[in-house]
Structures are given as C-alpha cells and as structure tokens.
Amino acid sequence: MALIVQKYGGTSVGSPERIRDVARRIKRWKMQGHQLVVVVSAMSGETNRLIALAKEVSPNPHPRELDVMVSTGEQVTIALLAMALQDLGIKAKSYTGGQVKVLTDSTFTKARILSIDEHNIRSDLEDDTVVIVAGFQGVDEQGNITTLGRGGSDTSAVALAAALKADECQIYTDVDGVYTTDPRVVPEARKLDRITFEEMLEMASLGSKVLQIRSVEFAGKYKVKLRVLSSFEEEGKETSGTLITVEEDTTMEQPIISGIAFNRDEAKLTVLGVPDRPGIASQILGPISEANIDVDMIIQNVGHDGTTDFSFTVNRGEYARALKILEEQVKPHIGARAIEGDNKICKVSAVGVGMRSHPGVASKMFRVLAEEGINIQMISTSEIKISVVVDEKYLELAVRVLHQAFGLDKAPA
C-alpha cells in the first residue's frame, strides 16, 4: 500500500464526463489498496473566464479580490469529483485550500506555500477516505484567500506530497509524458521514460509547459518522486508516463542531450554606443528591474574607442515597456548613441546532464545551425544547457535539425 498524491489538470476535469472518468481512475487506484490525496484544477478555460470577467468589471482589479474570485474554479471541481466518487461507492471528501489548511504568504495572485496542516487529511485517510484538495489556492495568516500563480495546482500537489511524505506525486495531464521536444514541431519527438529534476527545470523555464516551474523546484528540493502521465489513456492501456528523478540513471548510458526546448516569447534590446566604464550595466538594467521586467540573456561587447554595445533579452510581452524605459530613462542619462530592438527572435536550447562529461556539445550545436545558414545572435550556457537566440523565422528549422543531430529521434540503445 502506498500513499499517492494525484493531480488532475483542467482538461482532465473539463466536462462532467471527464470528471466521472477521473473518478473511475481514482477508484481503480483505491481498489489496489492505496491511500489517495487528489488535487484538482478548475475545469479547462474556467480560470481564464473568471479573470476576463473580473476585467470587464474593473480593468485593474485588486489582487486580493481577484484571488477570492479565481479560486472558485477549483472549489467547483473538488465538490464535483467528490460527488462522482461517492456515486461509485468510494468515500471521498473535498477541502478548499483554507480548509486543509494550506498556509501561504500574502502575495496575492502569486503566493508561496509556507506550511500544510496534515491533520484533516491524515484522519480521513485513516478512515479509508479519498481526500480531494483544491489546487492553486491557500490562505494567509489573516485568513485571506490566496492563489499560487497560473498553473499553481502542480505546486499544490507537490507541496502536499512533500508534507505527507507521499510515495509518489502523479501529475495527470493531457499528454502522456515529457517529450524530447514539442511533437507539434518535430513529429519524431519521443517520450522520455525519465528525466532529472535539473533537466526538467531547464526544460520548464525554457518553454516546455508541461509543469509549473515552481512545482519542479519544490519537488527537487524536497525529493518528491514526481511522474507526469496522461488521464486520457483507456483502462488497461495506461502507460507509465515520465518519471522525474533526483538521481541521474547511472545504470544506462546517459544521452548527452535529453531535449530541445524553445521559447518564442522573446525580444531583444540593444543599447548602442554606450560609454565603456564601470557602472554602465547597472545604469541600464537598474531601471528595467525597478519596472519589474525580468531580463534573461545579457551580452556586452568588447569596447572600441571607449564605447561598446549592450544587448539583453526580455519576455516579448514586456518589450514595448522596456524599449520606452531605455529611450526615456537610460539613453539620455548615460549618453548612448541609439536604442535598437527586435521582437521577432526566439530562443532554442539543448538541455542535458550528459553535457557535463561530454565536451563539444556547443561546437556541434553551432555547426549544425551554421550548416542551415541560421545566424546566432546571442549565446548563453550553463552546466547542463546551451541556449541560442535566433531569428524567429528559423525556430522550427533550428529545433528540427538539432533534434536530429543529437539523435533524439532514435530510442536510446
């Protein structure tokens, strides 16, 4: 008998039929003798609908009130799932985040979990009851309802699994696991049987949207055994998804690269003719960070004649704001020659822990791109990833040729 935390995402509970189907799946796990804590998201589209509704009433809703409102999506699905289970003869009980309670800080719309009270959950589990917990939500010290940021139900599930020391945390979604790249771009993409937390974290922050980044960080930190799997597979035809592990699998020859991630959501800004002296980087990026704009890659060139060029990337949604700040606050202040911007770029990354022990990954990546005539505009590396910024029109081509060059379309030997 194991204690399993399962999470079902929005599409998995997107209709009454889907909810009844999830209930049957939970019943099968229960009949095998396991204890189950189930976290659910709102029905697909519901959180977006609620946010849009709020904005129709008030263009800039107060975050506290927004949380009171958007948390209702999950309150609906926990009750529906409990009803569906009870109809199958399974004891089930639903809890909102506040009822559990999932204590968070007071950062409305992106709160962090501080602690989870196990008391109610443990006693229900003892009583043979399936415990159903609303994802995405918690409550602060003052009793205010909070939410954990978009996609936050993943984090709810992992945090519960960590608090309860569950044997496994299963994230049920509409794909059957984590892939070597997006199969919509490369049809030959393969499902990975396992991937390390570090790789998953890079994949998630580089644009693979299977799991909320925070949930992966959390799982790595608390060593929660995490598995991504599909809730759409028929009974008897279920596969075991992708296991996200703490340890690298040393029994197998490690592939050098585990996946190719990409992100279209990027924009590049360049400050030209910047005086080459101490303090310039902070004078350029200071006002950007004060405006709460996240900067990703940064490049400063070697100076000539006392000036240099300084480039960085931001999320495409922040491009216009960043450009305005550079034009109005930075350029006149530091005496730069001009500001240039490009919001038709993308980032393509090769990720793999195998890079640590295999030199030459970067040079191979650059050669493969060069052979296709793809110009690299920026490069950044970490111990387990190499990212390049290229023109957006080359995105599909770059991902495809890299996926093939690193042998990801073939099953590992």
What type of residue sits at position 150?
A: R
Find the shortest distance in angstroms from Cβ 399 to ligand ASP.
26
Q: By Cβ distance, which residue is nearest to Mg ion?
A: 151
Cα 24 versus chain centre, distance = 28
**3-state SS, residue 339:** strand
* Cα gap 138→111, rounded to integer Å: 8
Find the shortest distance in angstroms from Cβ 213 to Mg ion.
11
Per-residue binding letters, 1-40, with Mg ion (x by CB under 5 A): --------x-------------------------------
List, as one string, the DSSP characters of 233-299.
Answer: SPTT-----EEEESS--TTSPPPS--EEEEEEEEEEEEEEEEE-STTHHHHHHHHHHHTTPPEEEEE
Determine contact, residues 361/147, Cβ cutoff 8 Å.
no
Helix axes 197-205, 213-222, angle to 10 degrees: 160
- Residues constituting the chain: 413
Q: Which of residues 46-85 bind ligand ASP (CB under 6 A)?
A: 47, 73
Helix axes 72-87, 16-31, angle to 10 degrees: 60
Cα 204 versus chain centre, distance = 5
* Cα gap 27→31, rounded to integer Å: 6
Q: Which of these, 38, 36, 19, lies nearest to 87 by C-alpha position?
A: 19
Q: By CB under 6 A, tell whether 153 contacts ligand ASP.
A: yes
What type of residue sits at position 194?
A: R
Q: Which of 73, 97, 151, 352 binds Mg ion (CB under 5 A)?
A: 151
Q: Among residues 39 and 353, whose Cβ is nearest to ligand ASP?
A: 39
46-54, 146-154, 181-189, 390-398 -> range binding Mg ion (CB under 5 A): 146-154
Find the shortest distance in angstroms from Cβ 11 to Mg ion.
9
Q: Which of residues 157-186 bind ligand ASP (CB under 6 A)?
A: none
Q: Among residues 48 and 86, whose Cβ is nearest to ligand ASP?
A: 48
Q: Which of the choices Mg ion, ligand ASP, none does residue 136 contact, using the CB cut-off of 5 to 8 A by kind?
A: ligand ASP
Q: Which of the choices Mg ion, ligand ASP, none does residue 177 contact, using the CB cut-off of 5 to 8 A by kind?
A: none
* Cα gap 305→405, rounded to integer Å: 41
Q: Which of residues 170-209 bind Mg ion (CB under 5 A)?
A: none
151-159, 273-281, 304-312, 317-325 -> range binding Mg ion (CB under 5 A): 151-159
Find the shortest distance in angstroms from Cβ 136 to Mg ion.
9
Find the shortest distance in angstroms from Cβ 156 to Mg ion.
11
Both structure tokens of 308: 């240099």
57: number of Cβ within 10 Å: 9
Find the shortest distance in angstroms from Cβ 136 to ligand ASP.
4
Q: Among residues 9 and 241, whose Cβ is nearest to ligand ASP?
A: 9
Find the shortest distance in angstroms from Cβ 253 to ligand ASP.
36
Compute the CA torsion angle 49, 51, 55, 56 (nearest 10 deg): 20
Find the shortest distance in angstroms from Cβ 77 to ligand ASP.
9
Cα-trace Rg, the chain = 24
Q: Which of the choices Mg ion, ligand ASP, none does residue 11 contact, using the CB cut-off of 5 to 8 A by kind?
A: none
Q: Which of the choices Mg ion, ligand ASP, none does residue 47 contact, using the CB cut-off of 5 to 8 A by kind?
A: ligand ASP
- Positions in the binding site for Mg ion (CB under 5 A): 9, 151
Q: Point out which residues bind ligand ASP (CB under 6 A).
A: 9-10, 41-42, 47, 73, 135-136, 150-154
